[in-house]
Amino acid sequence: MPVVLGGIEASLRRIAHYDYWSDKVRRSVLVDAKADLLIYGNGERPLVEVAHRLAAGEPISSIVDVRNTAVLRKTAQPGWTGVDSTRLDSPGRIEPILNPYGEDLPCVAHTVKGSTSGKPITVQAHKPKQWEKTYVLLPSFEKVNNDKVMYAHASRILHHETNPGSARALMQKHGDRYVWINPPAIPLQTDEMDAVYALPYQRVPHPSYGTSRIPAYDMIRFSINIMRGCFGGCAFCSITEHEGRIIQSRSQKSIVQEIEAIRDKVPGFTGIISDLADLRPTFTCCATSHPKRSKPVAARLASTQKFVRTWIPTMSRSSSSIAVPAP
Ligand code: SF4
């Protein structure tokens, strides 16, 4: 029986990672769980492909090339060439942690007028990447386990290789095997997102939980996911690692239909949608109305927003909670 891992836990644990609970760097869950395949990120495309290939009689051991999946291998895939990650990003020294309330932060507001000490940054056009059939060899688990700089370096490379249009495969040694991570899947279009969210979800916990209280369910049962992805790139956040940087949105009609489904199906609905997961208003605000916004930031936002095919003006004008009539 093939064993395929998925979900956000598997996704974020696909390479050697820091585990908060044990306060240790742990191996890829693919190694520890002895699974055949791991699907990371939002899994609709890889799940369908893997299911179809298995249904067609292909052995799980030969399904090694699906985007958004990771597998264990003894060597790199045939026909691929590797580049060492330290050629792409130089591991540096660990800077002391700045006091977030200190006055010595390198903030733009502290720049002395007329100072010549700062160097202008020239933003250069992207050079085309030769990503196809190229993998990046990350420092091994054994290395990142013992070296914080190499851990940070591996994490940085993982974040760099998240653009489905140009990302390379990643490979990280664990003992005598390698975790091979295929590039991310192509993001869903709005009509595809709508189709995913129109599936007949039960909207209640699995019956095996009985009457147990599930704290995570309390948080999400009146919550609606209206988009995916974030280009923010904040160091403490896992959204980019899981969903990528490209924003994918649902249509307004699809969202309204889900609100109605919650109203009609979810026990205890009081008329309040607790959360509309949408980062875009924040970024739009930064891009268009902040008087001190920088031109590079505005340009970056504008280019990312080209990917947003559907806007949800009614939703995003308001706060992240809305009230709808209860049944
Ligand atoms: S803006 Fe928010 S969602 Fe995006 S990376 Fe930063 S913390 Fe994460």
In the chain, what are the domain boundaries?
A: 4-93+123-181, 190-323
List pLDDT tens digits, range 192-228: 999 999 999 999 999 999 989 999 898 889 999 999 9
Q: Closest Cα to atom 1, ligand 1: which residue? A: 232
Kindly state if the Cβ of 239 falls inside 6 Å of ligand 1: yes
Give residue 258's pLDDT band: very low, low, confident or very high (50, 70, 90). Answer: very high
CA of 73 to the centre of ligand 1 (A): 33
∠ CA 319-323-327, nearest 5°, is: 160
Give residue 286's pLDDT band: very low, low, confident or very high (50, 70, 90). Answer: very low
Atom from ligand 1 closest to the CA of residue 238? 8
Kindly state if the Cβ of 232 falls inside 6 Å of ligand 1: yes
CA of 244 to the centre of ligand 1 (A): 11
Atom from ligand 1 closest to the CA of residue 283? 1
Kindly state if the Cβ of 54 falls inside 6 Å of ligand 1: no
Kindly state if the Cβ of 301 falls inside 6 Å of ligand 1: no
* CA-closest candidate to residue 136, choices 114, 117, 116, 153: 153
Beta carbons within 8 Å of 305's beta carbon, 6+ residues apart: 247, 284, 287
- Cβ count near 6 (within 10 Å): 19
Give residue 75's pLDDT band: very low, low, confident or very high (50, 70, 90). Answer: very high
Helices of type H across 16-67: 29-33, 44-55
Single pTM value for the model: 0.75
CA of 233 to the centre of ligand 1 (A): 6
